[in-house]
Amino acid sequence: MGSCCDMRGFLSFIVLRLISRKSMSGEDIREEIKKRRGTKPSPGTVYPVLKTLSENGFIKEVEYAGKEKKYKLTSKGKKELAMATRKFCMIFYDMKEEFGRFC
């Protein structure tokens, strides 16, 4: 996975966190990000991240009665998410007071 500080790595982190809650399709992820940010990322932003996460063995397709693919975390993905979460917290924890006024 890319560095937590670059946008692709950050998006990978967000995608892993979202999929850790429930199996999701690329469209589900785009909609969830839209709810949170107000803008919907393009398919060209989300689908390459899903492909990379799948190729790295962090997510896998699940059986779904429909034409869209849904993904879930693998055990390797759960470990990666835990490591990325620790890294994210280490990077940003000392800034929590700074960010608190924006939340």
What is the rounded average pLDDT of the residues 67-72? 89
pTM of the model: 0.78
Any idea where the domains of the chain sit in the sequence?
Answer: 7-100
Token output for 7: 């946008």
Higher pLDDT pick, 49 / 63: 49
- On whether the CB atoms of residues 40 and 34 are closer than 8 A, the answer is yes
User: Mean pLDDT over all residues of the chain?
Assistant: 83
- On whether the CB atoms of residues 68 and 25 are closer than 8 A, the answer is yes
Is the pLDDT assigned to residue 54 strictly greater than 80? Answer: yes
> Could you tell me the fold of the domain covering 7-100?
Arc Repressor Mutant, subunit A (1.10.10)
Please give the C-alpha separations between residue 51 and each of 18, 72, 97, 103, in angstroms, as whole numbers.
Answer: 16, 13, 36, 32
- On whether the CB atoms of residues 5 and 90 are closer than 8 A, the answer is no
